Amino acid sequence: MWVKEFKIAIIEENTEQISKLLQEVPAFDKVIEMTEVLYLIKEADTLMQRLQNENIQIKNKLQKHIDFVKATQEKPSSQLDTSL
């Protein structure tokens, strides 16, 4: 059951579910099951790294947009405007 849930979490890229399942890894009796789980964990790690890299790229793009918007805005005068 755990293996099936873990596979689904990887396919759906559900990082919260992956994290939850990794905290509850059951003991496996057969070497074949252990090997499968090892490969699934490696796949989950690859997925997490890819998502982290995507988030970093998005953050960098957003920062560039913020910097651009700040650069194109008029800077407020440092003098007090008493003409109101």
pLDDT digits (tens, 9 = 90+) for 1-55: 999 999 999 999 999 999 999 999 999 999 999 999 999 999 999 999 999 999 9
Cut 0.85: pTM above it = no
**Whether residue 84 has pLDDT greater than 90:** no
CB 51 within 8 A of CB 19: no
Predicted local confidence at residue 81, as pLDDT: 64
Predicted local confidence at residue 64, as pLDDT: 95
Tokens (6 digits) for 18: 């992956």
Question: CA-based Rg of the chain, rounded to a whole angstrom?
Answer: 24
Residue with tokens 């964990």: 41
